[in-house]
């Protein structure tokens, strides 16, 4: 490196993970003239947003439900940069909540006014608090000092909180829901829109296009190549896989905190301890392919309180958002949940979960019969939803680890924003800029 600045030196950089963060970082680094190799354990890019395709389908389907929002500027800019922005499609499907045995839309001011679960005074307080979060305050660091539970009870009102937000927090975070900080909930008000986006061909097609753009700029992606370990020695960073060992100047790891601990045993004790303190939940979905539509009114997203006896948190009828003709006419329904990684659902046989979840589908349509089911798939992921406690920003390990040249960017680092493709892309590009 003698006689050259870091910015002009063409480094060899390894990235572990070909999800949104890893690929966005790779693309940014290639724009800056670096040599980039991406190591991905799966056989395709996309990570949690990756999909699968069945015979007779013209589109892929995400293993875990995904959509973009109209405010997702980072991923839309990236789509523009790689020449696929015209393939992004925005629609406004209907989102509903469950209240006393019925489903009610709650995704517009007019829908809130019609909602029978709150009185006028409660609705007014709810509306004022929502407007404050969405349009007035940007000071999320002040909000992270409070739990969502205490802030909402005080400012949204007890009735609005207990009818609307407490069931959602409880369903998503389980016994930890009273410890989740308000900055996380603020971000959902601030950034989300009723208009939702998808990608022509499915999100797998977007990640295929992004991976192709990486390769066209000279990047190398090694699929089916899990990394066993990364070690620092006198030659640089040694990246070990089952097939070979390679040396790099810098390494970016985009996996879970637990996997980073296994991959990088040289991490200092304090940094490793901070990683171990991070809490997260896993995601599980059962996807049903049905012969008939499930929601009689064409609802897309159903928020469900666990107290009502549903065995999952949300039901998403995908083909009320994306036309069934792309999937051979099948009606596709996600039943999803966030659970601790040790929950029995993560080790239960697939057929037991399919049977359990199918047993609740008649509550969405009394005409439903199990004969409607033509196929079903089960997907599990142990690291899917970080849990942000009070003052969470102080507990986050830095993306620049104490080991020179080793970087870490995970879903935990998109905080205070909720995990999703847009903020994963932003994180990847920001870390890439810091690396050079």
What mean pLDDT value characterizes the chain?
Answer: 95
How far apart are the two ends of the chain, measured CA to CA in Å?
A: 14
Indicate whether 29 and 65 sit together in one domain: yes
pTM of the model: 0.94
- The answer on 205 and 186 residing in a single domain is no
**Residue 80 covered by a domain:** yes
Of 129, 160, 191, which marks where a domain is finished? 191
The angle formed by the CA atoms of residues 93, 97 and 101, to the nearest 5 degrees, is 130
Exposure b/e, 371-408, CB count within 10 A at least 16 = b: ebbeebbbbbbbbbbbbbbbebeeebbebebebebbbb
Phi/psi for 100 (5° steps) reads 50, 50
Q: Judge if the upstream peptide bond of residue 142 is cis by omega within 30 degrees of 0.
A: no
Residue 291 phi/psi, 5° resolution? Answer: -85, -15
68-102: pLDDT as tens digits: 999 999 999 999 999 999 999 999 999 999 999 99
Task: Give the model confidence (pLDDT) of 284-295 as tens digits.
Answer: 999 999 999 999
> Do 122 and 259 fall into the same domain?
no
Q: 145 pLDDT exceeds 90? A: yes
Domain check: are 124 and 173 in the same one? yes
Q: In the predicted model, is pLDDT for residue 171 greater than 50?
A: yes
Kindly state whether residues 122 and 77 are assigned to the same domain.
Answer: no
Q: Which domain holds residue 52?
A: 12-87+200-278+395-435
* Confidence band for 9, pLDDT divided at 50, 70 and 90: low
- Phi then psi for residue 333, to 5 deg, are -130, 125
CB atoms within 10 A of CB 262: 12
Are 178 and 123 in the same domain? Answer: yes
Is 332 domain-assigned? Answer: no
With respect to residue 160, please indicate whether it lies within any of the assigned structural domains: yes
- Domain end: 191, 211, 228, which one? 191
Mean pLDDT of 308-323: 96
Strand partners, 285: 336, 379
Task: Kindly state whether residues 236 and 274 are assigned to the same domain.
Answer: yes
Tell whether 208 is covered by a domain. Answer: yes
In a domain, 284, yes or no: no
148-155 and 120-131 helices, crossing angle to 10°: 120
- Verify that 115 and 247 share a domain, yes or no: no
Check whether residue 175 and residue 41 sit in a common domain: no
pLDDT-derived band of residue 6, with 50, 70 and 90 as boundaries? very low
Query: Is the domain of 183 the same as that of 58?
Result: no
- Clarify whether residues 181 and 112 are in a common domain: yes
Q: Are residues 180 and 36 in the same domain?
A: no
> How many domains in the chain?
2
**Spatial separation of the C-alpha atoms in residues 379 and 19, rounded to whole Å:** 17
Residue 7: pLDDT over 70: no
Residue 161 included in any domain: yes
Confirm whether 225 is domain-assigned.
yes
**pLDDT value for 10:** 84
Sheet bearing 196-199, strands edge to edge: 68-69, 196-199, 88-91
Of 191, 224, 246, the residue at which a domain comes to its end is: 191
Is 7 inside a domain boundary?
no
Whichever domain contains 52, its CATH number is 3.50.50.60
């Amino acid at each position: 490196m003698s006689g050259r600045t870091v910015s002009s030196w063409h480094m060899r950089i390894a990235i572990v993970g070909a999800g949104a963060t890893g690929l966005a970082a790779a693309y940014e680094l290639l724009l800056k003239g670096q040599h980039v190799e991406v190591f991905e354990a799966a056989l395709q890019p996309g990570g949690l947003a990756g999909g699968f395709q069945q015979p007779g389908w013209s589109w892929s389907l995400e293993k875990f439900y995904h959509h973009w929002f109209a405010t997702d500027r980072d991923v839309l800019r990236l789509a523009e940069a790689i020449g696929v922005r015209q393939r992004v499609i925005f629609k406004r499907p209907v989102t509903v909540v469950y209240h006393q045995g019925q489903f009610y839309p709650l995704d517009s001011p007019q829908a809130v006014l019609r909602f029978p679960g709150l009185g006028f005074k409660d609705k007014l307080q709810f509306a004022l608090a929502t407007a404050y979060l969405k349009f007035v305050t940007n000071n999320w660091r002040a909000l992270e000092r409070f739990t969502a539970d205490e802030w909402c009870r005080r400012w949204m009102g007890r009735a609005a909180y207990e009818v609307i937000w407490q069931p959602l927090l409880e369903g998503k975070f389980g016994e930890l829901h009273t410890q989740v900080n308000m900055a996380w909930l603020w971000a959902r008000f601030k950034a989300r829109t009723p208009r939702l986006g998808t990608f022509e061909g499915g999100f797998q097609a977007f990640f295929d296009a992004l991976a192709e753009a990486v390769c066209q700029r000279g990047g190398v992606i090694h699929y089916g190549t899990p990394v066993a370990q990364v070690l620092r020695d006198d030659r640089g960073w040694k990246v070990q896989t089952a097939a070979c060992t390679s040396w790099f100047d810098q390494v970016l790891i985009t996996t879970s905190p637990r996997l980073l601990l296994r991959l990088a045993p040289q991490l200092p004790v304090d940094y490793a301890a901070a990683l171990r303190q991070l809490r997260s939940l896993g995601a599980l979905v059962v996807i049903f392919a049905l012969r008939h539509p499930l929601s009689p009114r064409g609802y897309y997203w159903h928020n469900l309180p666990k107290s009502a006896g549903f065995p999952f948190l949300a039901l998403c009828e995908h083909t009320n958002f994306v036309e069934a003709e792309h999937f051979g006419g099948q009606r596709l329904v996600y039943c999803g949940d966030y659970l601790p990684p040790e929950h029995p659902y993560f080790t239960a046989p697939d057929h037991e979960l399919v049977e359990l979840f199918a047993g609740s589908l008649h509550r969405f349509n009394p005409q439903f019969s199990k004969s409607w089911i033509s196929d079903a798939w089960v997907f599990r992921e142990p690291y899917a939803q970080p849990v942000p406690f009070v003052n969470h920003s102080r507990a986050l390990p830095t993306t620049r680890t104490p080991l020179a040249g080793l970087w870490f960017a995970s879903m935990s680092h998109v905080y205070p924003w909720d995990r999703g493709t847009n903020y994963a892309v932003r994180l990847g590009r920001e870390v890439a800029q810091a690396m050079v």
